[in-house]
């Protein structure tokens, strides 16, 4: 499958790129800077080569990456995500778009709190920026980036997804389950994404306090 990661130079992007490359998907790294995208793509290729893994990874501007892909992951910082999508809106047709974006604010005591946009969640804000034909799924909010990038290790976590298109959610479920030992739980429509997003600051705060890599596991 052809998968684009817009803003694919960030932390969570690395783990997804490495793990999906490992199972043979073609990856398009998007960035505002073509030069930066190509540089990061080369770094990912080198890391996989060191592991003996052949890969198909390309770097290019965000708009070109979105056009090239069947599935597009939005790994852009929350303060820029919706605006960036609006700027390249014409690059989207009926692709499946996945958002792990969470809007958080840092407090004076350095802790983080959930700070959703006026739409009610980052997912709904991004939905408004996309054309109606794009199929948006909310996922990957709570995965620890450092653990995700350790491609030789399994991840015993749950990924909760939300979306209004059942076929799109099934594609995201299958892609996610290609990462060993991750379980996908369908929480329902996209309007419920705020509940999943709101967990993220809590996990970040716990990770900082206890210097661990917490995530979510439902039992």
Domain ranges, ordered by start, for the chain: 2-210
State whether residue 188 is helix, strand or coil: strand
Q: Which CATH class, in words, describes the domain spanning 2-210?
A: alpha beta
pLDDT at 102: 97
Count Cβ atoms within 10 A of the Cβ of residue 179 and give its class: 0-12 exposed, 13-18 middle, 19 or more buried.
Answer: buried
Average pLDDT, the chain: 96
| pLDDT over 90 at 40, yes or no | yes
Count Cβ atoms within 10 A of the Cβ of residue 158 and give its class: 0-12 exposed, 13-18 middle, 19 or more buried.
Answer: middle
| pLDDT over 80 at 6, yes or no | yes
pLDDT at 8: 82
Its pTM stands at 0.96
What residue spans of the chain are helical by DSSP H?
11-22, 34-50, 62-68, 78-87, 122-129, 145-148, 166-176, 193-197, 199-210
pLDDT band for position 10 (50/70/90)? confident
pLDDT at 11: 76
Q: Is the dihedral of CA 175, 98, 159, 212 positive or negative?
A: positive
Mean pLDDT confidence for 205-219: 94
* Per-residue pLDDT reduced to its tens digit, 137-195: 999 999 999 999 999 999 999 999 999 999 999 999 999 999 999 999 999 999 999 99
Token pair of 72, please?
Answer: 């597009």
Between the two ends of the chain, the Cα-to-Cα distance in Å is 32
CB distance 16 to 56 below 8 Å: no
CB distance 4 to 65 below 8 Å: yes
């Amino acid at each position: 499958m052809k998968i684009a990661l817009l803003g694919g130079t960030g932390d969570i992007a690395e783990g997804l790129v490495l793990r999906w490359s490992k199972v043979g998907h073609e990856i398009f790294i998007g960035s505002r800077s073509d030069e930066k995208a190509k540089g990061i793509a080369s770094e990912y290729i080198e890391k996989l080569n060191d592991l003996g893994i052949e890969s198909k990874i390309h770097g290019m501007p965000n708009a070109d990456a979105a056009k090239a892909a069947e599935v597009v992951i939005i790994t852009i910082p929350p303060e820029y995500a919706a605006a960036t999508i609006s700027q390249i809106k014409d690059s989207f047709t009926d692709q499946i778009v996945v958002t792990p974006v969470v809007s958080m604010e840092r407090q004076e005591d350095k802790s983080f709190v959930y700070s959703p946009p006026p739409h009610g969640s980052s997912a709904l804000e991004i939905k408004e920026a996309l054309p109606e034909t794009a199929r948006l799924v909310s996922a990957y909010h709570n995965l620890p980036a450092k653990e995700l990038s350790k491609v030789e290790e399994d991840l015993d976590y749950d990924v909760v997804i939300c979306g209004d298109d059942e076929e799109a959610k099934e594609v995201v479920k299958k892609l996610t389950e290609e990462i060993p030992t991750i379980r996908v739980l369908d929480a329902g429509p996209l309007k419920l994404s705020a509940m999943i997003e709101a967990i993220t600051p809590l996990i970040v705060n716990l990770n900082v306090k206890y210097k661990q890599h917490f995530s979510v596991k439902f039992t």
